Amino acid sequence: MTFRVLVINDDAFELATLSAALRLHTINVVGEANNLAVAENLFRSLQPEVLVIDIQFDGQEAITLVKKLRKLNPALGIVFTTACPDLRLLGITTKDVPLGSQMILKKSISNLEVIADSIRNSISIAESKNPVAWVDSHGSPHENAFASVLGAMTDTQIETLRLVATGLSNAEIGRVRFVSEKSVEQIVARIAGHFAIAPDRTRNLRVLIAGHYYKWIGAPRH
């Protein structure tokens, strides 16, 4: 059975190449959207059965959009793509993601058939009570498929890492998290330890930590 698929991505190159590749895999891509307004209009007019959407779409509005569309169609299949192996880095928790969603890490997929299979399977699990399932490179949900150094970091460390990457000082982070500046310093030191960043007076620790953050979220590196 061929399902009607709407592809949503605000990166023009990814949107065009993914849509074309899916069509070559006999996936019925009925529409492509690169912003919120187009996505909602196409959803209402084309009535797709499955969404393939980048989780960082439109400034990370993907979760809000998908929840809204799921209310209109509770059986809607959802396949997220992401460059980030730990959603906490994006400020997203598992409970934020609609039940039955499938998550595909972009760099782990060498065979597009994995996405095609996820699209086909998404309908059957759309109304399940299962949390988000990460799909590995073999096309099967695997709890530990994307284990990394990030998995050893606490939620507090991840949140502090995000704040460091935005350029906040230890004092500013302390005010945001309602903890002392000294506590923040200790957390930052532990984060550096996780990334094996050795003390070096010739290098800025916060810049190095921020570099790791942007690497893990899949940001372009120039």
- pLDDT at residue 81 in the model: 92
Structure tokens, 206: 């916060």
- pLDDT at residue 143 in the model: 45
Contact 115, 124 (CB under 8 A): no
Contact 100, 70 (CB under 8 A): no
Distances (CA, A) of 23 to 7, 60, 101, 194: 11, 26, 22, 42
Question: How many angstroms from the chain centroid is the CA of residue 53?
Answer: 10
Q: What residue ranges of the chain have pLDDT lower than 50?
A: 142-146, 221-222
Reported as a single tens digit per residue, the pLDDT across 110-142 is 678 888 888 888 887 766 667 777 886 555 554
Q: How far apart are CA 186 and CA 208, in angstroms?
A: 16
Under 8 Å CB-to-CB from 93, ≥6 apart: which residues?
Answer: 87
Specify the residue for token string 């019925």: 28
Please give the domain boundaries of the chain with CATH numbers for all domains: 4-135 (3.40.50.2300), 149-216 (1.10.10.10)
pTM of the model: 0.84
- pLDDT at residue 200 in the model: 82
